[in-house]
Amino acid sequence: MADFIRNPVVRLPDPDPEPHFSSDELNFTSDEKDRISAWVRQYPTSDGAVMWTLWLAQEKFGFLPPEVLQLVATELGLPYAQVYGVATFYTQYYKEKKGAFVLDVCTCFSCQFTGGYDILAYLEEKLKVKRGHTSPCGRFTVQEAECLGACGSAPMMQVNNGPYAHHLTPEKIDTLIQAMETGQPLPFVSITLPQDEDEMGDNRRSDADAIESYQTPPQSKRTQ
C-alpha cells in the first residue's frame, strides 16, 4: 500500500492474455465436481459457492488465470464477469503465477512498529527478490500484506494463505526458509489468545521457552 500511496496508478488488466492452460487441462474431475455440487447445495443460489470453488481451482491449478475463472463460471452456471469480479476482490486468490511459497509479510500498523519492514527487507535480501515478485528460482514470492489480524504476535507473515509465522526475527526467518527449501514441515508455533490466559497460569506465551532470540516478559503485568 505504501508504494501505491507514493504512485497511485491502477493498471488495466491485460484485455487479451495468452492462456496458460490447454483446454485438455481445463476440467474438474468427477470427485471435484461432487464437492462443488455439495457446496452449491448449501446455498439458495449457486453464486454462494463461488469462493469455495475458486479456492478449489487455485489448489488444483496453482493460480487463477482467466481461463480457469471461465471454467469455474461454467461449472457454477454464473456469468464469467461475476467470477472475475470476486477473484480480483480478494488478494488471496492469485491472478498470476506465484512461487511455490508465497510469503505475505504484514506491514500494517503493529507489525510496522515492531519491525515488519525490517523483516520484509531481510527476506528481499536473503531471497534476492523484490517485494511483489517471485525469486528467479521460482520458489518464493514475497509480498507486502495488510493487517492479517495477529497484532499480538507482531511482526508476522503468512505462508501460502495458510500457516502464520509469528514473532519473526532474522534467525527465525532463516529456520523457516531452511525448512521450506528442504521440504520439511514448517516449525509450529502456538500463540495463546488473551481469553485463555487464566487457564495457563497467566503465561501469555506457550512457546516462551522456545524463544531465545528476543525475550519478552513471559508473565503478564497483572501478576507483578
Q: Measured from the CB of residue 76, what is the shortest distance to other proteins in angstroms?
A: 12
Please report how close the Cβ of residue 10 comes to other proteins at its closest, in angstroms.
Answer: 4
Nearer CB in complex with other proteins: 78/165: 78
146 or 171: whose CB is closer to other proteins?
A: 146
Residue 35 sits at φ, ψ, to 5 deg, of: -65, -40
Task: Compute the distance between CA of residue 158 and CA of residue 148 in angstroms, rounded to an integer.
Answer: 8
The alpha carbon of residue 142 and the mean position of all alpha carbons in its chain are separated, in whole angstroms, by 10
Closest to other proteins by CB, 12 vs 193, is: 12
First vs last Cα of the chain: how many Å apart? 40
φ, ψ of residue 165 to 5 degrees: the values are -110, 120
Q: How far is the CB of 81 from other proteins (least distance, A)?
A: 4
User: Which is closer to other proteins, CB of 7 or CB of 182?
Assistant: 7
What is d(CA 143, CA 147) in angstroms, rounded to the nearest whole number?
13
**Site residues (vs other proteins, CB under 8 A):** 4-5, 7-17, 66, 69, 78-85, 88-89
Question: What contacts 111, CB < 8 A, 6 or more positions away?
Answer: 105, 119, 147, 151, 154, 155, 156
Q: How far is the CB of 214 from other proteins (least distance, A)?
A: 34
Residue with Cβ nearer other proteins (16 or 209) = 16
- Supply the minimum distance, in Å, between the C-beta of residue 5 and other proteins: 8
In this complex, which beta carbon is closest to other proteins, that of residue 18 or of residue 24? 18
* Contacts of the segment 29-37: beta carbons below 8 A, 24+ positions apart: 32/56, 32/60, 33/75, 36/75, 36/76
Please answer whether residues 126 and 149 qualify as being in contact, where contact means their C-beta atoms are separated by less than 8 angstroms.
no
- Which residue from 122, 125, 102, 106 is spatially nearest to 114, judged by alpha carbons? 106
* Residue 7 CB, nearest approach to other proteins (Å): 8
